[in-house]
Structure 1
Amino acid sequence: MSDSEDGSIQDRGRDETEEERADRKWVELIQEVRVAQTGVQILFAFLLTVVFMPRYPQLSETDKNIYIVTVVLGAAATGALIGPVSFHRLVAGRRIKPEAVTWASRLTLAGLLLLLATMTAALLLVLRVATHDDYVPWLVAGIVAWYLLCWFVLPVWARTRHRTAD
């Protein structure tokens, strides 16, 4: 904290305008989206090939339903994670970058939630086909808990523990 000329305390931070902050946040967001996009696109591409495998017709109806849900979730996650790029392209030059960053952030969060659901469903399907054991839901629940911890709990904890104005 530092004293300003009027004696009030100001937060230390970046000395940037709203537009500069939006530019910085946009660059950071796009870097984050690149990582998630690559993962979801690889997973989605793999999922699209499963239906053409010789063993697919032998799957139980439950496993086929899990597969269909997984593919739909993967398609939705792909759309949400590619959305920020399209959003930016369509609103570029309209002087609404702060709003664009907000909407792109929301699309990215939705994409991450859909990716979580896609990976959960894919893991459930693979482990059901691989083992047919009753402990599969427990394994999947453990991995989902791990994803939630890594992707959401720790960042939210850090955010609340180290609050600063942005």
Structure 2
Amino acid sequence: MTPPATLGDHQRPPRQLDRNLGELLQELRVMQTGVQILTGFLLTVPFTERFHDLTAVQHRLYLGILLGAVITTCTIVAPVCYHRLLFRQGERDWLVRAAHLCCLGGILGLGVVSAAVVYLVFDVVLGGSAAPIAAAAVALAFIALWAAVPFTLRDRER
């Protein structure tokens, strides 16, 4: 019987890589749905009657949010492209690491874009100091639920 090959620092067994990639792609699918719905909504906004009533600053903010949503979409979909282009090329370990980074970037992008959308909507509807307060509350909720909770549980387990 041949001993198992020695794995380098960044290499994992093929089954673990397959499982990790499958889990990452499933997580990206969940995020992709939310980002695509948000991006689709943002793409329709300029075609509404009220869009022209926005201030120049609100127009620029809207365009920044739209670009953020499109870049987040690109980041979330990138691992699917990587997988398709590198299929059976022996790059599964690189693919899992790249997909992990894209997933983290997508999470960050989704949180930023969501808080920015809340800022813009509150600014249009209520104006004044309501927008930064609402956006900060949303950002804190994302940070608490997406970062503080898992890090607290992880540290507690140690």
Pairwise same-fold verdict (TM > 0.5): yes
What amino acid sits opposite 1:72 in the alignment? L
Q: Deviations over 1:80-113 (max 9, x none)?
A: 0111111111111011212110001101111111
Pair 1:58-2:50 in alignment: no
Which residue pairs with 2:154 in the alignment? 159
Q: Which moved more, 1:118-127 or 1:154-163?
A: 154-163
Tell me the SS of whatever aligns to 2:76.
Answer: helix
Contact preservation (8 Å) 1:18, 1:98? no
Which residue pairs with 2:82 in the alignment? 87
Contact preservation (8 Å) 1:73, 1:114? yes
What amino acid sits opposite 2:57 in the alignment? T
How many correspondences in the alignment?
A: 147
What's the TM-score, normalizing by structure 1?
Answer: 0.84
Matches within 5 A, 1:1-20: 18-20=13-15
Which residue pairs with 1:127 in the alignment? 122
Identity, % of aligned pairs?
32
Contact preservation (8 Å) 2:120, 2:131? no
More helix by share: 2
> Which residue of the other structure, out of 19, 24, 27, is the alignment partner of 2:19?
24
> Which structure has the larger Rg over C-alpha atoms?
1
- Paired with 2:84 and 2:154, the residues of 1 have a C-alpha distance of 30
- Paired with 1:118 and 1:142, the residues of 2 have a C-alpha distance of 14
> Which residue of the other structure, out of 128, 140, 148, is the alignment partner of 2:135?
140
Which residue pairs with 1:42 in the alignment? 37
Q: Deviations over 1:90-141 (max 9, x none)?
A: 1110112121100011011111111111111111111111111323211210
Tell me the SS of whatever aligns to 2:89.
Answer: coil
* Uncovered stretches (5+) of structure 2, i.e. residues with no partner: 1-11
What amino acid sits opposite 1:159 in the alignment? R
Pair 1:99-2:94 in alignment: yes
List structure 1 runs of 4+ shifted beyond 3 angstroms: none
- Paired with 1:25 and 1:95, the residues of 2 have a C-alpha distance of 15
Superposed CA RMSD:
1.2
Tell me the SS of whatever aligns to 1:51.
Answer: helix
